Amino acid sequence: MTEAQFLATLALVGAVIVVSALLSGFIDRSRLPHVAVFLVLGAMIGPAGLNLLDATSDSQVLRTVSTLSLVLVLFTDALSINFSEIRRNALLSFLMVGPGTLFSAVLMAIAAWGLLGLSPALAAMLGAALASTDPVLLRAIVRGPDIDPAVKQALRIEGGMNDAVLLPILLIAVSLSPSFSGGHSNAGHVAINVLLLGPAAGVVVGLVSVAALDLIRKRIGVRRDYESLYSLGVAFLAFASAEAVHGSGFLAAFAAGLTVSALDVELCDCFLEYGQTTAEMALLFTFVLFGTSIIWSGLKVASLPVFLFVIAVFLARPLAFLPALSFTKLKWRDKLLISWFGPRGLSSLLLVMLVVVADVPGAQYLLQVCCLVVLISVVLHGFSPILIFRKPGVKPAGGSGVAESPAKVTESAAAAPASSTPTSSMQQALTSPEYVSMEDVKNWRAKGVPFALLDSRSIRTFDDSDLTAEGAVRAHPDHAVKDIEKLGIPKEATLVVFCA
């Protein structure tokens, strides 16, 4: 890499972080897809624009960033899996990750074999890659306050676990491809390398990392900011450990995250949140790199068979998921939403890049077809929430919503005039915002002092718990003031914030 390319790449990293931060609020409210913005940014700096950077498929920068992004995505997806949620919804979890995901991959592979004339191995690779849902586009959907909790739940489960089903299929297809230079290994050897060594290395790294963190935290203490960085180290260490023993580093990263989540240890919320934020930044940066030229290469392979295949891809998900979801008690509207929102994006591109990096003959064509599908998916899946869902507003309590009944929240405040005179202990609590005891809360409620309980637990902690404080409200962190105003809480009321 030349000095000019290094500076351009460094500037690009900074631009992605700055632009994503500045536009995050606008994009969240407008429901515009993040990825569309960064694809345009990539086109602006690519050969068709300012010609500052051209990340081709053989670019070492793109291959490195793609690898790191996929590692982080797999690790954080596994880390965010809520096992209590899966146990409560065992049937839905099985149908989403099992029949739904697998049947859609099979249907896409059959379409690729029949319409594009691909070999069974290449068709399986493309089907597995395109059955993967994009974590960035999907995250924007499940965070919406007007999405039914059942839909969020199903999409969260799928987004966190479907790559664990699809990645082994792709890796085995690559290894057993007759034209692959390393494809002379027997099936047993491939299965051991892919399905055993990688996950085993990830489990070991996950167990050791959690034990070490727990021990050091109890004996010496760990700074909160460094505990958040710790998650990145675990992901990369799991990947490197598996690759060192000729296993799959990607499956190891997922296994490590799954192990940490399954141990159910008390971890700082920043452990997950920082990892997810870093993964999302890496994904957006990778999207910019793809947007310079590669993503647009999909337009070059546009033909009648390819367009028929694209149509088949978008039909495959409903054909697979609607019959699978018929065994649940979900409403028909929810089933249709789940069947529609299977956006193809960077996760599909990253999986296909594994085929490209392995130098499998025909990989470039797979990448181009995948790029065309992703471009159309970004438009259809990325912009459809604007048309399907109403403008975000106050919804029932949930991960990103607020309390269901404003009347209950302001009941104690409305029961007494704003001029109520608090006792000396209450006055002390009012003037000392550091701590308010439950006794103070009970006294305020008895005396009619205006106040409101604000539940500030993280989304994950809130969703994991069945306990709520009586009369507590939640407000979206990006527009808390507006949510509180909509609840009708008087300005003179005291906000009592709690997080446990």
- For residue 465, the SS3 value is coil
The closest alpha carbon to 180, from 413, 360, 437, 314, belongs to: 360
The closest alpha carbon to 103, from 326, 360, 255, belongs to: 326
Nearest-10 Cα torsion for 371, 374, 379, 382: -150
User: Looking at residue 127, what is its pLDDT?
Assistant: 94
What letters, b where the CB count within 10 A reaches 16 and e where it falls short, cover 130-152? bbbbbbbbbbbbbbbbebbebbb
Residue identified by tokens 């949620």 is 85
Residue 377, both tokens:
């998916």
Packing angle, helices 60-79 and 346-357, rounded to 10: 130
Distance of alpha carbon 325 from alpha carbon 336, whole angstroms: 10
The CA angle 117-121-126, to the nearest 5 degrees, is 75
The set of residues, in sequence order, having a beta carbon less than 8 Å from that of 170 and lying 6+ positions away, is 124, 125, 128, 129, 351, 354, 355
Distance of alpha carbon 20 from alpha carbon 124, whole angstroms: 35
Domains and CATH numbers, the chain: 3-388 (1.20.1530.20), 406-498 (no CATH)
H, E, C per residue of 28-68: HHHCCCHHHHHHHHHHHHCCCCCCCCCCCCCCHHHHHHHHH
Distance of alpha carbon 474 from alpha carbon 451, whole angstroms: 14
- For residue 457, the SS3 value is coil
User: Looking at residue 322, what is its pLDDT?
Assistant: 93
**Phi/psi-derived region of residue 448, left when phi > 0, alpha when psi is between -120 and 50, beta in every other case:** left
Distance of alpha carbon 396 from alpha carbon 355, whole angstroms: 44
User: Looking at residue 124, what is its pLDDT?
Assistant: 93
User: Looking at residue 105, what is its pLDDT?
Assistant: 94
H, E, C per residue of 471-494: CCECCCCCCHHHHHHHCCCCCCCE
Q: What are phi and psi of 495, to 5 degrees?
A: -90, 120
For the question of whether the overall pTM of this predicted structure is more than 0.85, the answer is: no
The closest alpha carbon to 287, from 349, 356, 372, belongs to: 349
Cα separations (Å) of 200 from 241, 243, 254, 263, 361?
Answer: 10, 12, 11, 16, 30
Distance of alpha carbon 486 from alpha carbon 394, whole angstroms: 8
Distance linking the first and last C-alpha atoms of the chain: 50
148 and 100 Cβ atoms separated by less than 8 Å: no
Residue 492, both tokens:
């003179």
User: Looking at residue 158, what is its pLDDT?
Assistant: 84
- pLDDT tens digits, the chain, 500 residues: what are they? 566 666 766 777 777 778 777 777 776 666 667 777 778 888 888 888 888 777 888 888 888 888 888 888 888 888 877 777 788 888 888 999 889 999 999 999 999 999 999 999 899 999 999 998 876 677 666 666 567 777 877 887 887 788 888 988 888 888 777 655 444 455 566 667 667 888 999 999 999 998 888 888 888 887 776 777 788 888 899 999 998 888 888 889 999 988 988 886 666 566 666 667 777 777 778 888 888 888 998 899 989 999 999 999 999 999 999 999 998 888 888 888 888 888 778 788 888 988 988 888 889 999 999 999 999 988 888 777 767 665 444 344 444 444 333 333 333 333 333 334 444 444 444 444 456 677 777 777 777 777 777 777 665 566 555 566 777 777 665 566 777 777 777 777 777 776 65
Residue 394, both tokens:
């106050």
Residue 77, both tokens:
């997806």
The set of residues, in sequence order, having a beta carbon less than 8 Å from that of 473 and lying 6+ positions away, is 397, 402, 403, 409, 452, 453, 454, 455, 484, 487, 489
